[in-house]
Amino acid sequence: METTSLTLAEIINLNLAVGTEMKPLKSIVEEGDGAFKRRIDRRSVSDDLDEVEIRGPLVPFKDYESRYNKLAEQSRILNSSLQEANFTTKVSVPAWIMASDVDAVSIVGNGYNGDQGEMTEILIADVLSKRKSVLEELNRKRYISEDGILTTATERIGKSDSIDSVVEKLETSTLSVETASWLLIMTSYRILNNVLQKANWDTTTEVRIVI
């Protein structure tokens, strides 16, 4: 039984290629070999001549069927390998990402640095599940109001005074909950994507190749 060591990224790419090749073959196999039967049309064109037209496949149906079955087997093997890796391989993510009660303002802060802080180990499968739920939440909160993005600082100063104190007040203002929550979702999605991308290239597993 031939096996080869592949990264998860390579398995995903190979599975995509297998699926692309399977797609046109599937319709041929599902239709059956009826369309592959040789058809002979003989008709008279004169008293001395007949015209014969034979229509048939250059590649036998069984060859298409055999290739499709091999590809289907390979796809099952690849999917199984991915599933096994996803449920046995752990990766590091910021602990707050998996927490149910999060203070968005304190995590994101003005520095948009939600990837810092205490880390925790979770399965790749849990990362995939969390990314799906974060994406759903991101789609629900795709737009944020101007009031949620902008902050206003007001201060009375002398006509000849510098505005530096007002600028400092603006820049040290605390994010609104709306803005912080939106940035937290964006940050979560970015971090989870980065974690998955790294895991896909760092994680290798032995895969049986049948095609």
Nearest to 41 by CA among 54, 50, 30: 54
Residue with tokens 């802080």: 117
pLDDT of 41 reads 92
- Mean pLDDT, residues 11-15: 96
CA 148 to chain centre: 30
pLDDT of 175 reads 64
Tokens, residue 34: 């009826």
141 φ, ψ (degrees, to nearest 5): -115, 40
Tokens, residue 121: 């180990």
- Mean pLDDT, residues 80-87: 96
Average pLDDT, the chain: 85
pLDDT band at 14 (very low <50, low <70, confident <90, very high): very high
| Whole-prediction pTM | 0.71
Statement: residue 203 has pLDDT above 60: yes
86 φ, ψ (degrees, to nearest 5): -65, -30
**Which is more confidently placed, 110 or 33?**
33
Tell me which amino acid residue 34 is: G
- Give per-residue burial for 126-137: e unless 16+ CB within 10 Å, then b: bbeebbeebeee
The percent of residues above 90 in pLDDT, for the chain, comes to 47
The pLDDT tens digits of the residues spanning 24-77 come to 999 889 888 877 888 899 899 998 999 999 988 888 889 999 999 999 999 999
The pLDDT tens digits of the residues spanning 125-151 come to 999 999 999 998 888 766 555 555 566
Statement: residue 110 has pLDDT above 50: no
Tokens, residue 202: 């760092």
pLDDT band at 17 (very low <50, low <70, confident <90, very high): very high
Statement: residue 80 has pLDDT above 90: yes
pLDDT band at 174 (very low <50, low <70, confident <90, very high): low
3-state secondary structure of 11: helix
Out of 22-26, 171-175, 200-204, pick the least confident. 171-175
The percent of residues above 70 in pLDDT, for the chain, comes to 84
Statement: residue 113 has pLDDT above 90: no
Long-range contact pairs involving 105-113 (C-beta distance under 8 Å, separation at least 24): 105/174, 105/175, 105/177, 105/180, 107/180, 107/184, 108/175, 108/180, 108/183, 108/184, 108/187, 109/175, 110/171, 110/172, 110/175, 112/183, 112/187
132-to-7, 39, 129, 165 alpha-carbon distances in Å: 22, 52, 5, 44
pLDDT of 173 reads 63
Q: What is the rounded distance in angstroms from the CA atom of residue 14 to the CA atom of residue 11?
A: 5
pLDDT of 89 reads 95
